[in-house]
Amino acid sequence: MTLKKYLLAPGPVPVPPNVLNAMAAPIIHHRSPDFVELFAEVKEGLQHFYQTEQPVLILGATGTGGMEGSVTNFLSPGDKALVVNGGKFGERWTKICTAYGIQVTEIKVTWGESVDVAQVEAALKADPAIKAVYVQASETSTGTAHDVKAIAALTQGRDTLTVVDAITALGVIDMPMDAWGLDVVVSGSQKGYMLPPGLAFVGVSEKAWGFQRTAKCPRFYFDFAKEKKALEGNQTAYTPAVSLIVGLKEVLKMVREEGLQNLFARHARLAEATREGMRAAGLTLFPTGTPSTAVTAVNAPEGIDGQDIYKTLRTRFGVTAAGGQDHLKGKIFRIAHLGYADTFDTITAVAATEMAIAALGGKVNLGAGVRRAEELLG
């Protein structure tokens, strides 16, 4: 038999069979009443998922497209932005801002640490002209979370937006957009949505729409005002990814059936069991800050290359995880627990990790991690 595959990477994640089936239906036309009806339902479901009364834009793009639009729609060349850069995706905010002539002040965070909110507060106090703070709720490259709730509290009452990359946080942790005062929240279909890649979502607050009206960065495809207007008529500005939106309807139905709080609790349970399982196996975790609930970053044990663990997981056991990026390449590997993930994904992740390290001749408490995960998940 060919190797059975287990997709345990931090995106794309597996798509549930009922969602795959729904997406196999014949294409409907996007300017038809059928689509309008579908879109109206999806629009409402998305607001529930985001915990917002604000419109949530649906873009035919990957998450990065949503990030780019979240720079160009709210700022003008020469504006000042504060970027929390604690990994590959924080770095991406800086790159996008710089590409559009935004003046970036970076808070460089050691990879694996969570940003010190007092540092954000100090940077904002030092420069009242900062118009937006860009941050990740979950920095996927390091498996670390930042406290976006506390950051949003700092920008309330001043002329500054909190813009959150929630690409591996939305639908994973409880981060109510309105209650926390998050101004712009970006997410992507291949993560907590359990969909294939191809859709980006952006929730936009009233305050951020105010910025949108005067922002001067060049933009055309990612023009949020145009998308908002289309959304009001249950449409998208351009031809939408119809099949993905059909799948989205199915996913949002599943979310309602599970209940948001149960969904967050499931993710928290899987994350904890993964962390504890890895520790019991004799491994150490990479983050020194708050660990992400979506993905666990594990240090490669002494004398074993993290890339070899990642490769052994894939080629010998059929488990697709992720390696480390940049200077963490070879030092860590990452296993996800987001989206269509449940108890036996985590048991598989811990068991396969133990087996891969043993196969590479590394020191590991074979079976101890699985036992711990079973205790926590039973």
Ligand X SMILES: Cc1ncc(COP(=O)(O)O)c(C=O)c1O
Contact set with ligand X (CB under 6 A): 11, 62-64, 89, 136, 138, 140, 165, 167-168, 188
**Phi, psi angle pair for 326, to nearest 5°:** 50, -125
**Alpha carbon distance 307, 243 (integer Å):** 35
- The backbone torsions φ and ψ at residue 62, rounded to the nearest 5 degrees and listed phi first, read -85, 180
Cα angle 180-62-188, degrees, rounded to a multiple of 5: 35
Query: Which of 123, 174, 124 minimizes the C-alpha distance to 148?
Result: 174
Looking at the Cβ atoms of 83 and 357, the one nearer to ligand X is 83
CA pair distance 262, 46, nearest whole angstrom: 17
Structural tokens at position 100: 């559009």
Closest to ligand X by CB, 64 or 307:
64
Biggest CA pair distance of the chain: 63
Distance CA 111, CA 144 (A): 8
CA 58 to mean position of chain CA atoms? 16
Strands of the sheet with 80-85, listed across from one edge: 56-60, 199-204, 184-188, 161-165, 130-136, 80-85, 103-108
Of the pair 64, 235, the CB lying nearest ligand X is at 64
Query: How many residues can be counted in the chain?
Result: 378
Work out whether strand 199-204 and strand 56-60 pair parallel, antiparallel, or are unpaired. Answer: antiparallel
H/E element holding 50? helix 33-50
- In the complex, minimum distance from the CB of residue 138 to ligand X, in angstroms, rounded to a whole number: 6
Q: How far is the CB of 88 from ligand X (least distance, A)?
A: 8
**Residue (180 or 201) nearer to ligand X, CB:** 201
Q: Which is nearer to ligand X, 140 or 212 (CB)?
A: 140
193: left (phi over 0), alpha (psi -120 to 50) or beta: alpha
Beta-carbon contacts of residue 324 (< 8 Å; ≥ 6 apart):
141, 297, 306, 307, 330, 331, 332, 333, 334
In this structure, how many other beta carbons lie within 10 angstroms of the beta carbon of residue 179?
12
Nearer to ligand X, 184 or 347 (CB): 184
